[in-house]
């Protein structure tokens, strides 16, 4: 075990630093934690073969005692997550705005660790819950660690951190029976948000398909709060951070999400791990929306209000660098589970705004880490250490690993020449808080500039495509149908009535309720606790529709890279027919996955075999992006396979590309879409350049026209 040496100073990169803690047991003898070799790992020490056992058995005691303490408290929110290592490469010198060293030069690389998560579910819950996704990045910059802890949704449910425990208690499983797991579709959540109109905007996002991503690799990330960038002269600019995925932004449908949770509740975790493992490194560009402090009050919304976004039409997103995730953790617990993120962890050049939600987070994260990771020394854990050196007079505490040399642990001192000395003494650069002028009364209150709760919820809805709008209507209908108390359903319809009439009518229709014309009295009562004259007149918005808010209309970079296409086969399939599409898919970086009625050897029509990893027993259409049925002499076997038809029916229902190669089209007769015409993604009796047509259709992600034409439920 290589744990000796100058850990903090030796690491040029995080990988090098972490490798000093790695242990590889290959070709090593089993030992106790004290390094004593063990020759029997099966039998405890006993008197005679039939016992009793002896307490002097230190080998047994150590093994069990360690096991008994293996679990630490899971995160109170965002418990379910997965992580990866990567690197950030800066596109250009950003020193005009920020003196942060990792943004100082074109091509500068900074190692990082990222953790994605869902919010509500426990650590073992399904990946495909309808929920926001956490997007936490720890940059190991050469001037210390910077944590950018965001979500895949640019706004938040609440405006003040004081409400956070209530929000989480409402969305987590209900306390009396701990039901439901990882789901907002229950009474307490909708009770809470129906009384908190400020949640309306984020609820719209969660009810959209953003709440059920196709892949963690295909999600945007947002810093949510307004932060500040500070340059070397101390000049501040407001900033919102964005992560733009190079694979585009895509989701699954709700019906798929529910089924994926059954077939593979680790779907997102597996997808990320496999992509990185196979060298398909996911990439995002870091974007910033920069606003001069002079413009702080020029918008119809308050920059400090975390329930508001800045439409990209008002302030464009400038892309300043690229993140590549290129390495899976070696050990989930040591790295992903012990990673401790904290929005208060900033570096020189970055500072906080006065957003009251952000201000509250600055307390909560370090506090929770001290509890969750068992003490104040959790920053010494390998995953949490900075790559630059740490010197200070902090000492001792549980699990201290640093061996601080010398007699002094105080400042000022003369014995150690005043060391460690304060930065700047020798011209070093140091973190300095932005010198902001603040003057005011000490009060518990909320600004009236935070009182408009619906304008941006409407902006979001208006920016969606017809299919996306329908999915939002379906999601509200599903969630509110799961709410048992009719008064809560009605009250939420009151909120929807403030956002969009058609949305409210559709959802009310699905719930068998009347359309309310105004907010419920109880909602107004609670809103008035923050804004006594609520509802206040909403300011006129600058933008009524924003392209960036729609996944469908904003899919600029259509690509099939890393998409998984299921090739449905059985013995006797034509290899030539498989290869005809496989080659074209692989050219575009997509994956052909052969699925047969058994794993093991697959016999080709032309002779020869291939080893198959997947069968109808373990796979399902919802785990794939598109379907292909190659030609061959396997049709009779397929015609007998119920799961084969389930593949087809579900793929059609979920608007996926399905291609029947020449001669296989008669199988359609047994599907529920047998009387449907070929569409942009239903390719029948293909020949010639069909592979190119297939790729083109796959680029569109889904054939949504099929859904609007047939009203297939999402």
* Closer residue to ligand HDE, CB minimum distance, 360 or 588: 360
594 vs 612: CA distance, rounded Å: 6
Contact 280/243 with Cβ under 8 angstroms?
no
We find the least distance from the C-beta atom of residue 357 to ligand HDE, in angstroms, to be 5
Query: Other CB atoms closer than 10 Å to residue 176's CB: what's the count?
Result: 6
Residue tagged active-site, from 151, 264, 474, 530: 151
Nearest C-alpha neighbor of 625 from the set 580, 570, 674, 588: 588
618 vs 707: CA distance, rounded Å: 27
We find the least distance from the C-beta atom of residue 117 to ligand HDE, in angstroms, to be 5
Query: Other CB atoms closer than 10 Å to residue 481's CB: what's the count?
Result: 14
Residue with tokens 């790295």: 335
* Closer residue to ligand HDE, CB minimum distance, 81 or 197: 81
* Closer residue to ligand HDE, CB minimum distance, 80 or 701: 80
Q: How far is CA 37 from the centre of its chain?
A: 43
Handedness of CA 95, 101, 107, 112 (dihedral sign): negative
Task: Please confirm, yes or no, whether 611 is among the known catalytic residues.
Answer: no
* Closer residue to ligand HDE, CB minimum distance, 238 or 567: 238
Q: How far apart are the first and last CA of the chain?
A: 53
574 vs 590: CA distance, rounded Å: 21
Nearest C-alpha neighbor of 657 from the set 621, 709, 612, 687: 621
Which residues have CB under 8 Å from 36's CB, separation 6+?
59
Contact 207/470 with Cβ under 8 angstroms?
no
- Residue 363 token pair: 């307390």
* Closer residue to ligand HDE, CB minimum distance, 321 or 356: 356
* Closer residue to ligand HDE, CB minimum distance, 164 or 526: 164
We find the least distance from the C-beta atom of residue 112 to ligand HDE, in angstroms, to be 13
Angle, to 10 degrees, between the axis of helix 466-481 and the axis of helix 254-263?
60
Residue nearest to ligand HDE (CB): 134
Task: Please confirm, yes or no, whether 151 is among the known catalytic residues.
Answer: yes
306 vs 245: CA distance, rounded Å: 22
- Residue 64 token pair: 């069990």
- Residue 571 token pair: 């013995």
CA dihedral 298, 299, 302, 308 (to 10 degrees): -160
We find the least distance from the C-beta atom of residue 33 to ligand HDE, in angstroms, to be 28
Residue tagged active-site, from 24, 39, 43, 78: 78
We find the least distance from the C-beta atom of residue 128 to ligand HDE, in angstroms, to be 18
We find the least distance from the C-beta atom of residue 590 to ligand HDE, in angstroms, to be 30
26 phi and psi angles, rounded to 5 deg: -55, 130
Angle, to 10 degrees, between the axis of helix 466-481 and the axis of helix 486-497?
150
We find the least distance from the C-beta atom of residue 589 to ligand HDE, in angstroms, to be 29
Peptide bond into 66 cis (omega under 30): no
* Closer residue to ligand HDE, CB minimum distance, 202 or 585: 202
What DSSP state is assigned to residue 548?
G
175 vs 385: CA distance, rounded Å: 37
We find the least distance from the C-beta atom of residue 268 to ligand HDE, in angstroms, to be 14
Nearest C-alpha neighbor of 613 from the set 560, 623, 562: 623
* Closer residue to ligand HDE, CB minimum distance, 341 or 624: 341
Query: Other CB atoms closer than 10 Å to residue 274's CB: what's the count?
Result: 14
* Closer residue to ligand HDE, CB minimum distance, 78 or 308: 78
Give the interface with ligand HDE as residue ranges (CB under 6 A): 75-78, 81, 115, 117, 134, 136, 149-151, 156, 161, 164, 224, 306, 339, 341, 357, 360-361, 364-365, 368-369
**Residues acting as catalytic residues:** 78, 151
């Amino acid at each position: 075990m290589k744990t000796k040496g100058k850990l903090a100073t030796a690491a040029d990169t995080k990988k090098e630093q972490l490798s000093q803690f790695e242990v590889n047991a290959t070709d090593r003898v089993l030992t106790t934690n004290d390094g004593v070799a063990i020759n029997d790992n099966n039998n405890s020490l006993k008197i005679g073969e039939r016992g009793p056992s002896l307490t002097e058995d230190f080998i047994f005691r150590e093994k069990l005692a360690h096991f008994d303490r293996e679990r630490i408290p899971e995160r109170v929110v965002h418990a379910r997550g997965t992580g990866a290592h990567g690197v950030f490469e800066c596109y250009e010198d950003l020193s005009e705005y920020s003196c942060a060293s990792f943004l100082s030069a074109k091509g500068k690389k900074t190692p990082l660790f990222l953790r994605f998560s869902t919010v509500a579910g426990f650590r073992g819950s399904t990946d495909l819950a309808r929920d926001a996704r956490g997007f936490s990045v720890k940059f190991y910059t050469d001037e210390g660690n910077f944590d950018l802890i965001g979500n895949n949704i640019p706004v938040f449910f609440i405006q003040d951190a004081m409400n956070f425990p209530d929000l989480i208690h409402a969305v987590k499983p209900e306390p009396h029976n701990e039901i439901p797991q990882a789901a907002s579709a229950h009474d307490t959540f909708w009770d809470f948000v129906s009384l908190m109109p400020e949640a309306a905007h984020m609820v719209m996002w969660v009810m959209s398909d953003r709440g059920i991503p196709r892949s963690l690799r295909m999600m945007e990330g947002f810093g949510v709060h307004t932060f500040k960038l500070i340059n070397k002269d101390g000049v501040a600019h407001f900033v919102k951070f964005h992560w733009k995925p190079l694979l585009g932004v895509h989701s699954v449908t709700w019906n798929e999400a529910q089924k994926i949770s059954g077939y593979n509740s680790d779907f997102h975790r597996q997808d990320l791990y496999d992509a990185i493992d196979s060298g398909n490194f996911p990439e995002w560009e870091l974007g910033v929306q920069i606003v001069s402090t002079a413009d702080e009050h020029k918008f119809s919304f308050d920059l400090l209000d975390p329930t508001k976004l800045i439409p990209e039409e008002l302030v464009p997103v400038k892309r300043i660098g690229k993140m590549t995730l290129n390495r899976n953790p070696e050990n989930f617990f040591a790295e992903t589970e012990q990673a401790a993120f904290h929005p208060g962890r900033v570096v020189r050049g970055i500072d906080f705004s006065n957003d009251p939600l952000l201000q509250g987070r600055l307390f909560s994260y370090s506090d929770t880490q001290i509890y969750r990771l068992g003490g104040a020394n959790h920053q010494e854990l390998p995953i949490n250490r900075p790559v630059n050196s740490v010197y200070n007079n902090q000492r001792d505490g549980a699990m201290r690993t640093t061996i601080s040399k010398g007699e002094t642990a105080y400042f000022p001192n003369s014995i150690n020449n005043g060391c460690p000395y304060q930065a700047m003494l020798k011209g070093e650069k140091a973190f300095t808080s932005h010198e902001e002028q603040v003057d005011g009364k000490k009060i518990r209150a909320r600004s009236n500039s935070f009182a408009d709760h619906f304008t941006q919820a409407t902006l979001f809805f208006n920016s969606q495509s017809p299919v996306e709008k329908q999915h939002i209507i379906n999601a509200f209908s599903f969630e509110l149908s799961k709410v048992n108390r009719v008064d809560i359903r009605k009250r939420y319809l009151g909120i929807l009535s403030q956002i969009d009439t058609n949305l409210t009518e559709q959802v009310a229709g699905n719930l068998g309720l009347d359309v309310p014309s105004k907010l419920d009295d109880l909602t107004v009562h609670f809103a008035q606790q923050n804004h006594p004259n609520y509802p206040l007149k909403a300011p006129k918005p600058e933008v009524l529709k924003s392209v960036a808010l729609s996944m469908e209309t904003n899919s600029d970079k259509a690509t099939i890279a890393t998409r998984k296409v299921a090739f449905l086969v059985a013995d006797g399939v034509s290899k030539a027919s498989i290869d005809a599409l496989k080659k074209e898919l692989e050219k575009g970086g997509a994956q052909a996955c052969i699925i047969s009625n058994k794993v093991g050897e697959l016999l080709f029509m032309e002779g020869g075999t291939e080893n198959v990893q997947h069968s109808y027993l373990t796979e399902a259409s919802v785990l794939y992006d598109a379907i292909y049925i190659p030609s061959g002499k396997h049709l009779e076997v397929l015609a007998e396979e119920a799961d084969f038809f389930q593949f087809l029916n579900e793929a059609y229902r979920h608007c996926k590309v399905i291609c029947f190669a020449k001669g296989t089209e008669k199988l359609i007769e047994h599907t529920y879409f047998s009387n449907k015409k070929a569409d942009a993604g239903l390719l029948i009796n293909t020949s010639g350049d069909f592979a190119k047509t297939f790729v083109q259709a796959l680029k569109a992600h889904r054939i949504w026209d099929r859904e609007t034409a047939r009203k297939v439920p999402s």
